[in-house]
Amino acid sequence: MSSPFLKQVFNKDKTFRPKRKFEPGTQRFELHKRAQASLHAGLDLRQAVQLPPGEELNDWVAVHVVDFFNRLNLIYGTVSDGCTERSCPIMSGGPKYEYRWQDDHRFRKPTALSAPRYMDLLMDWVEVQINNEEIFPTNVGTPFPKNFLQAVRKIMSRLFRVFVHVYIHHFDRIAQMGSEAHVNTCYKHFYYFVTEFGLIDTKELEPLKEMTARMCH
């Protein structure tokens, strides 16, 4: 029997962004398949994130960034009907942490926004980054930009905030749907990946520090 979580994820009323796909036959497609196979084989997540011998770090990172974006889109999509202007007027992670939005267009200064508005902007922003050929080149042989890992750090820091908000403000919804094991596995995978390659500042991890210590150590 399919879980309520999957039914919610694939509910036709929900509109999810199109996935960034890897072209079959490309090296990145093969890396994506290898990463997925490691997970499905039940390989320890700490080992699953390690760079395979002979592979390029930037390729491995690019594949995972896209994958985490797709997963977090789905996870947030399952709680989004309970994340409203009224329930979450501030994008926060508990009383101590408030996230303000800033970009190069409309919000040039850090701006307090509701969680759903912040999430929309965040997902749109990440989608633009990963579909930008100058940052995430898809053609084999096209080099990654020199600032690639710097760009990834910003993406991963912002994606981490989705986990923070979902865990602190909407975990009852996740639990009600019986999907905590799935979300916890996604979180551990993300955490091991960003710490393996130094893709997030320690201070960004603070809001989930206690939970992470129980779950990942």
Flag whether 10 is in a domain: no
**182 has binding-site annotation:** no
Structure tokens at 100: 């303000």
Contact 156, 183 (CB under 8 A): no
- pLDDT at position 9 is 39
Give the whole-angstrom CA distance, residue 208 versus residue 211: 5
Give the whole-angstrom CA distance, residue 159 versus residue 22: 20
Contact 93, 207 (CB under 8 A): yes
- pLDDT at position 186 is 92
Contact 135, 148 (CB under 8 A): yes
Number of separate domains in the chain = 1
As a whole number of Å, the CA-based R_g of the chain is 17
Flag whether 48 is in a domain: no
**216 has binding-site annotation:** no
Across the range 58-86, mean pLDDT stands at 93
Question: CATH number for the domain including 186?
Answer: 1.20.140.30
Q: Is 112 strand, coil or helix?
A: strand
Flag whether 5 is in a domain: no
Domain of 114 in residue numbering reads as: 57-216
Q: What are phi and psi of 41, to 5 degrees?
A: -80, -5
- 3, pLDDT greater than 50: no
Confidence of residue 20 (pLDDT cuts 50, 70, 90): low
Flag whether 70 is in a domain: yes
Give the whole-angstrom CA distance, residue 183 versus residue 185: 5
State the amino acid at position 160 in one-letter form: F
Flag whether 8 is in a domain: no
User: Model confidence over 32-71: pLDDT tens digits?
Assistant: 565 565 555 556 888 889 998 888 999 999 999 999 999 9
Q: Is 54 strand, coil or helix?
A: coil
Q: How far is CA 166 from CA 23, 159, 160, 175, in A?
A: 32, 11, 10, 11
- 16, pLDDT greater than 60: no
- pLDDT at position 26 is 53
User: Model confidence over 150-181: pLDDT tens digits?
Assistant: 999 999 999 999 999 999 999 999 999 888 88
**Average pLDDT, rounded, for the chain:** 84
**β strands within the chain, DSSP E:** 100-101, 111-112
Flag whether 175 is in a domain: yes
State the amino acid at position 42 in one-letter form: G
**165 has binding-site annotation:** yes
